[in-house]
Amino acid sequence: MTKLFDNIPEGPLADKWTKYKADAKLVNPANRRNIDVIVIGTGLAGGAAAASLGEMGFNVKSFCFQDSPRRAHSIAAQGGINAAKNYQNDGDSTYRLFYDTIKGGDYRSREANVYRLAEVSANIIDQCVAQGVPFAREYGGLLDNRSFGGVQVQRTFYAKGQTGQQLLIGAYQALSRQINKGTVTMYNRHEMMEIVKIDGKARGIIARNLITGEIEKHSAHAVVVASGGYSNVFFLSTNAMGSNCTAAWKSYKNGAHFANSCYVQIHPTCIPVTGDHQSKLTLMSESLRNDGRIWVPKKKEDSQAIAKGEKTALDIAEDDRDYYLERRYPAFGNLVPRDVASRAAKERCDAGFGVNKTGQAVFLDFSDAINRLGKDAVEARYGNLFQMYEKITAENPYEMPMKIYPAIHYTMGGIWVDYNLQTAVPGLFAAGEANFSDHGANRLGASALMQGLADGYFVLPYTISNYLADDIRTGAISTEHAEFEKAEKAVKDRLDFFMNNKGSKSVDYFHKKLGKVMWEKCGMARNKEGLEEAIEEIKAIREEFWKEVKVPGVQNSFNQELEKAGRVADFIELGDLMCRDALSREESCGGHFREEHQTTEGEALRNDEDYTYVAAWEYKGDNETPELHKEDLKFENIELKQRSYK
């Protein structure tokens, strides 16, 4: 069994990163322009990394599949970004943010990485403000904060409900500045199709130009995968339609380990599914739980009457409402972490208290806040979210409580990386949602944006330089190398297969089928029997896919079905790994809830004795069982406790 090295620097927790930076090897400025770095993804992680590496003088090639780097999925983040600034003087500190993140992640993340994240968080806000990110401000001109779930301080910075947009535009502008300077070359409408390794090191990629269909070879001294999360394995999720796992999956198949893939976050407040035509789910930001109260009727008859349209929420008297989060978790109330809030909603709906036709919806009610603060104040805080809700549902949330239900939202699992954010393949780095590193089994709200920017602006510039210091004499990597030819051929063969397969079913048919299996058997609640069934069902879907998939159009031109076919092929394989990972983790923790492992009150029951490890899976071949490597998590600064929000 190969051993995983986390490469965490020695020394006290609070000094590790400072010491790392002081000891890190550097590349002198004259050498940097002879070194090429490929960055896949222009979200917060990739955009920030490409801008920073370009600014340092490396020769950067940046890739995204959208028509512009500004459209990466990070643009859709709504609620905010955390930072331990303690501007509100409510006792926040680097240590508290670190502690909250470890606890929120149900003690399944690496202390050293999380501490570094908390440590650089304050700097992110300084950096973004200097770039002109228009965060919300108070009347005195200083920055405003709000709270998010799972914490008792106000440390979330925001720009109305468009925080992701504003942060991404900041990173995009920094990237644009480097493009103008010539340090970054931008390849939009390009899809990374394969990683190229030479002598065991990542040395380039094969990409498809999505306009012409041309297959291109790009070489580099290091490759960064910042391609986002894999929520779309469920077909329906809050992620953008194009979000996919291909870059991460190709990394896995080339030797990078895939860690904790079963840790998936289900967001409690999304607009419920309405019908089979549904293409995606829309998130209603967690920030709404600051002022919204979640409830269902106490009486089943009332729920049924509402579902039939005979009553509305307004007909239910105060005493007949069950504010079940406030009831079960008096200390945190409506602001419990996401996994807890989602499961509580499922519990009430499964018990028959759901409030729409499908029985899968609960109320999120703002009437108290409107009475207390006035409609204008509520509008100032959440105006765009309320508008978004009304556009989709044709109901006015100022007058009628929102109906919400949990949906797949974020993936904590991802490519295994060490302290350097380097994968098991030398020269291949992973950042942002694509890696597994900081959120354990559950991510706290407003921490993904923080992690993306921390990785991109502040961590990778040091760790990649440290790696590349040994590469200054390597010279340009030739794309004529046999490994490039081999990878290119594999990519072309697969595309040829899709174009020539005389199947009868569309790509979406398979994607929806996979999504259904994943949601039912590897979703909010899992058990052994269901997971074993899912593995068999996914196997059947995979066989049918390769026999029956139908891709219209031609290869050498713009072909969106062909793009989807490759992505869904990878999702099917990932689905299998997720079920295996979920099956092997015989405990409940964070977003991973195994029905066999719960307390008498229905809370998640961890097994610290046997499962305090990162499950990193190694690819062994297409029809082989992947190998499980365990990275033991050592808690030297925090004592493991049963998580309680009561």
Ligand X SMILES: Cc1cc2nc3c(=O)[nH]c(=O)nc-3n(C[C@H](O)[C@H](O)[C@H](O)COP(=O)(O)OP(=O)(O)OC[C@H]3O[C@@H](n4cnc5c(N)ncnc54)[C@H](O)[C@@H]3O)c2cc1C
**Is the Cβ–Cβ distance between 87 and 140 less than 8 Å?**
no
Q: Pick the binder of other proteins from 396, 474, 557, 584 (CB under 8 A).
A: 557
**Is the Cβ–Cβ distance between 550 and 501 less than 8 Å?**
yes
Stretch that binds other proteins, among 169-177, 198-206, 216-224, 317-325 (CB under 8 A): 169-177
76 binds other proteins (CB under 8 A): yes
The entry of ligand X, other proteins, none that residue 466 binds, CB within 5 to 8 Å by partner kind: none
Using the minimum distance from each CB to other proteins, give the nearer residue, 7 or 68.
Answer: 68
What are φ and ψ of residue 501, in 5° steps? -65, 130
CA distance 305 to 312: 8
Using the minimum distance from each CB to ligand X, give the nearer residue, 232 or 303.
Answer: 232
540 binds other proteins (CB under 8 A): no
73 binds other proteins (CB under 8 A): yes
Q: Pick the binder of other proteins from 131, 185, 527, 598 (CB under 8 A).
A: 131
356 binds other proteins (CB under 8 A): no
183 binds other proteins (CB under 8 A): no
CA distance 37 to 476: 11
Structure tokens at 82: 């955390």
* Start-to-end C-alpha separation, the chain: 42
SS (H, E, C) 359-393: CCCEEEECHHHHHHHCHHHHHHHHHHHHHHHHHHH
CA distance 474 to 477: 8
CA distance 60 to 62: 6
Q: Judged by CB under 8 A, how many residues of this single chain contact other proteins? A: 79
Report the nearest approach of other proteins to the CB of residue 205 (Å): 21
Report the nearest approach of other proteins to the CB of residue 108 (Å): 29
What are φ and ψ of residue 573, in 5° steps? -65, -40
Could you tell me where the DSSP H helices lie in 224-363?
Answer: 246-253, 300-308, 324-328, 338-350
Binding site for ligand X (CB under 6 A): 40-46, 63-66, 72-74, 76-81, 163-164, 190-192, 226-229, 238-239, 243-244, 246-247, 283, 409-410, 432-434, 446-449, 452
Report the nearest approach of other proteins to the CB of residue 304 (Å): 22
Using the minimum distance from each CB to other proteins, give the nearer residue, 186 or 222.
Answer: 186
Structure tokens at 109: 């993340």
Q: What angle do CA 545, 549, 554 make, to 5 degrees?
A: 145
Helix (H, G, I), strand (E, B) or coil at 97: helix
Q: Pick the binder of other proteins from 91, 275, 309, 621 (CB under 8 A).
A: 275
SS (H, E, C) 339-365: HHHHHHHHHHHHCCCCCCCCCCCEEEE
What are φ and ψ of residue 451, in 5° steps? -65, -40
216 binds other proteins (CB under 8 A): no
CA distance 233 to 408: 10
Place of tokens 């009430």: 348
Site for other proteins in 85-104 (CB under 8 A): 85, 87
Q: Pick the binder of other proteins from 97, 125, 153, 565 (CB under 8 A).
A: 125
The entry of other proteins, ligand X, none that residue 46 binds, CB within 5 to 8 Å by partner kind: ligand X
Stretch that binds other proteins, among 141-149, 482-490, 526-534, 602-610 (CB under 8 A): 141-149
**Is the Cβ–Cβ distance between 363 and 295 less than 8 Å?**
yes
Report the nearest approach of ligand X to the CB of residue 64 (Å): 3
What are φ and ψ of residue 363, in 5° steps? -90, 145
The entry of other proteins, ligand X, none that residue 434 binds, CB within 5 to 8 Å by partner kind: ligand X
Residue of minimal Cβ distance to ligand X: 43
Per-residue buried b or exposed e for 104-134, using 16+ beta carbons within 10 Å of the residue's own CB: bbbbbbbbbbbbbbbbbbbebbebbeebebe
Using the minimum distance from each CB to ligand X, give the nearer residue, 183 or 244.
Answer: 244
Q: Are strands 258-259 and 362-365 parallel, antiparallel or unpaired?
A: unpaired
Site for other proteins in 401-460 (CB under 8 A): 457-458
Q: Pick the binder of other proteins from 169, 224, 577, 604 (CB under 8 A).
A: 169
Site for other proteins in 294-333 (CB under 8 A): none
207 binds other proteins (CB under 8 A): no
Using the minimum distance from each CB to ligand X, give the nearer residue, 208 or 597.
Answer: 208
48 binds other proteins (CB under 8 A): yes
The entry of other proteins, ligand X, none that residue 165 binds, CB within 5 to 8 Å by partner kind: other proteins
The entry of ligand X, other proteins, none that residue 449 binds, CB within 5 to 8 Å by partner kind: ligand X
160 binds other proteins (CB under 8 A): yes
**Is the Cβ–Cβ distance between 347 and 598 less than 8 Å?**
no
CA distance 7 to 418: 6
Place of tokens 């004499």: 473
The entry of ligand X, other proteins, none that residue 91 binds, CB within 5 to 8 Å by partner kind: none
Report the nearest approach of other proteins to the CB of residue 31 (Å): 19
Q: Pick the binder of other proteins from 52, 62, 219, 334 (CB under 8 A).
A: 52
Per-residue buried b or exposed e for 398-434, using 16+ beta carbons within 10 Å of the residue's own CB: eebbbbbbbbbbbbbbbbbbbbbbbbbbbbbbbbbbb
Q: Pick the binder of other proteins from 7, 274, 371, 642 (CB under 8 A).
A: 274
Stretch that binds other proteins, among 236-244, 351-359, 368-376, 538-546 (CB under 8 A): 236-244
500 binds other proteins (CB under 8 A): no
Stretch that binds other proteins, among 162-170, 350-358, 568-576, 630-638 (CB under 8 A): 162-170
The entry of ligand X, other proteins, none that residue 169 binds, CB within 5 to 8 Å by partner kind: other proteins
Q: Pick the binder of other proteins from 34, 209, 282, 527 (CB under 8 A).
A: 282
CA distance 334 to 324: 9
The entry of other proteins, ligand X, none that residue 90 binds, CB within 5 to 8 Å by partner kind: none
For the four alpha carbons of 133, 135, 138 and 143, in that order, the dihedral sign comes to: negative
Report the nearest approach of other proteins to the CB of residue 76 (Å): 5
Using the minimum distance from each CB to other proteins, give the nearer residue, 225 or 283.
Answer: 283
Report the nearest approach of other proteins to the CB of residue 173 (Å): 4
What are φ and ψ of residue 239, in 5° steps? -75, 160
Structure tokens at 318: 């105060």
For the four alpha carbons of 102, 108, 111 and 116, in that order, the dihedral sign comes to: negative
Report the nearest approach of ligand X to the CB of residue 44 (Å): 4
135 binds other proteins (CB under 8 A): yes
The entry of other proteins, ligand X, none that residue 42 binds, CB within 5 to 8 Å by partner kind: ligand X
If we measure between CA atoms, which residue out of 90, 105, 94 comes closest to residue 146? Answer: 90
CA distance 471 to 464: 11
396 binds other proteins (CB under 8 A): no
